[in-house]
């Protein structure tokens, strides 16, 4: 029984360390706040495994640009986290609007809102798994 408790304690400790390692500090995020050049976005290749935060941010921007969510200002990176089960989650903050599915039916574009948008990416296949709006961190 003591061995089982020790094993559980080690698992809990390792899980906590893993979570700390996955958190991104403000200093780390700051390096991704500069605009990503069009050349970098155009050079993106889907299917190449993502190995670091910078590649995750570039992939997330490319995938985000393929959705109906359009930032009206340069989006700032709020967080870049490598999630369990081989996924990256990138959160952007800024002014964005969600374009209607058929732009021909809208005379006036929707008003921009300020908020956060996330992109989840499969680490190994480098494909978008999910995109959506999310509450911004305090």
| Rounded Cα distance, 96 and 115, in Å | 7
In-domain check, residue 13 = no
In-domain check, residue 19 = no
In-domain check, residue 77 = yes
In-domain check, residue 2 = no
pTM: 0.70
Q: What is the pLDDT of residue 129?
A: 84
Name the DSSP class of 90: E
Tokens, residue 36: 């990503």
Tokens, residue 14: 């390792």
In-domain check, residue 113 = yes
In-domain check, residue 60 = yes
Name the DSSP class of 1: -
- For residue 50, what are the CA distances in angstroms to 54, 69, 70, 134? 9, 23, 24, 23
The range of the structural domain enclosing residue 61 comes to 26-134
Q: For each of the chain's 138 residues, which pLDDT tens digit applies?
A: 443 333 333 333 333 333 334 444 444 554 555 677 788 888 888 888 888 888 899 999 988 888 989 999 888 999 999 988 889 999 999 999 988 777 666 667 678 999 999 999 988 877 778 899 999 988
In-domain check, residue 17 = no
Q: What is the pLDDT of residue 103?
A: 63
In-domain check, residue 69 = yes
**Number of neighbouring beta carbons within 10 Å of residue 49:** 11
Tell me the H-state helices in the chain. 2-22, 26-30, 38-42, 53-65
Q: Could you give the number of structural domains in the chain?
A: 1
């Amino acid at each position: 029984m003591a061995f089982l408790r020790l094993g559980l304690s080690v698992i809990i400790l390792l899980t906590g360390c893993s979570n700390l390692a996955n958190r991104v500090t403000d200093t780390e995020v700051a390096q991704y706040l500069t605009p990503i050049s069009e050349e970098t976005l155009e050079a993106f290749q889907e299917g190449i495994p993502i190995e670091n935060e910078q590649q995750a941010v570039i992939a997330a921007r490319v995938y985000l640009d393929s959705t109906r969510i359009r930032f009206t200002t340069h989006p700032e990176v709020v967080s870049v986290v490598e999630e369990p089960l081989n996924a990256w989650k990138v959160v952007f903050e800024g002014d964005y609007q969600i374009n209607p599915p058929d732009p021909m039916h809208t005379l006036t574009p929707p008003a921009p809102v300020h908020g956060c948008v996330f992109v989840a990416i499969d680490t190994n296949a480098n494909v978008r798994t999910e995109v959506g709006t999310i509450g911004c961190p305090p």
